[in-house]
Amino acid sequence: MVTEKQTISFIGCGSMGSALLRGLLDSCASPNPEVPKPDEFHFIACTKTSRSAGMLSESLGEDASRVKITHGEPVKAAEAGGIVILGFKPYMAAGVFDTPGFLDALEGKLVVSMLAGLTVEELNQLASSNGVGMKSKRCIHFTRALPTVACRYRQSMTVLEIPDNLPDQETHVLKSIFSRVGKLRILPPDLMNVGSMLVTACLATISVPLDGLLDGAVAEGLKRSEARYLVVQGLQGLVSVLENGEQTALMREAISSPRGGTIQSLITVEKAGTRGTFAEAVINGSRQFSKPR
C-alpha cells in the first residue's frame, strides 16, 4: 500500500518536473495548513543526461541536498520509489517503457503520468504490449496529472485523471501531492486535453496580450517595472472578481463609462477579433494533444 512516507521518484525532470519538485520541497518546509498534514516525502530525480542532472542540481540550490539526483538510470530510480512520476516528453514513452526492467519496477506502484496527450488507457495498453500484465498478478496503478509550471510557487491548477479502480489510499495520496502545489480538479479522460490546454493558456497564451499591455503603457510614458507592478495587482483584482462569481461581460459593462477610455480599449480589441483568436488557440492546442505521437 502506498503511503505518504514513501519516496517519490521523478523519471525525467525537465521544466515541469523541476517546477513540481521545487513546489513539493517548499511544501515540506512550510506545509499548507489547508492541506491534510502528511509525513515528509523523500525525493529521487532521474534525468536523461549528466548535463541535465547538473543543471537540475544547480537550479535547486541549497535544496539539492534534499534530493537524490541521478542520470541515465530510470530503472534504479523507479525501483527505489514508492510513487513514480513520469516527467519525460510524451514521444519518449515507448522508448522508456522498452527499457529492460523498467515496467517491472513499476508493478504495484502508483505511477503519475505528466505526459500530455497520453490517456491512462493508452499507458496501460503501452505497458500491456510489453507483457507486464501477463507476467504478474499485480498491475501498474497509472494515473494522470497535468499541472502548470506555477506549481513552482504552489499556485498550479492541476487537472487529474483518476481511474475508477484506483484504490482509495492511492487516490488520497495523489490528491495530497498536488494539493500541496495549488488547486486541483478531476476530469474525465475525454476532457483532459482541453482542461490541460485551458490552464496552460492561462499562463502561456494570456502572457502575450499582457506583454502588449505593458508595451502600450511604456509607449505612453510608464516605466516597464511600474507598469508590471500595476498589471500584477490588476490581475489579482480580476481573480477576486471571478472568484466571487461575477460575470465578465457584466463587469466590462459596469466599468465602461460613456466616452471613456475603457470602452475605447474594448472596441479596439474586439475589432481585432481577439475573442475568436483566443478561442481558436484553445481549440487548436487541445486538438494537438490528441494527435498521434
Residues forming the annotated binding site? 11-16
Measured between alpha carbons, how far is 179 from 112 in angstroms, rounded to an integer? 14
Take residue 269 and report the three cell numbers written for it.
480589441
Radius of gyration of the chain (CA): 22
Measured between alpha carbons, how far is 195 from 175 in angstroms, rounded to an integer? 17
Could you list the beta-strand ranges (E) of the chain: 7-11, 42-47, 67-71, 83-86, 110-113, 141-146, 156-161, 182-186
> CA angle 110-112-116, nearest 5°?
155
Q: Which residue has the cell 541536498?
A: 65
Give the number of other Cβ atoms within 10 Å of residue 60's Cβ.
20
Secondary structure (DSSP) of 16-75: HHHHHHHHHHHHHHS--TTS--PPPPEEEEEESSHHHHHHHHHHHGGGGGGEEEEES-HH
Q: Which residue has the cell 466571487?
A: 244
DSSP H or E run through 179: helix 168-179
**Looking at the chain, how many residues does it have?**
293
Measured between alpha carbons, how far is 157 from 145 in angstroms, rounded to an integer? 10
Chain-centroid distance, C-alpha 142: 16
Annotated binding site for NADP(+): 11-16
Take residue 172 and report the three cell numbers written for it.
488520497
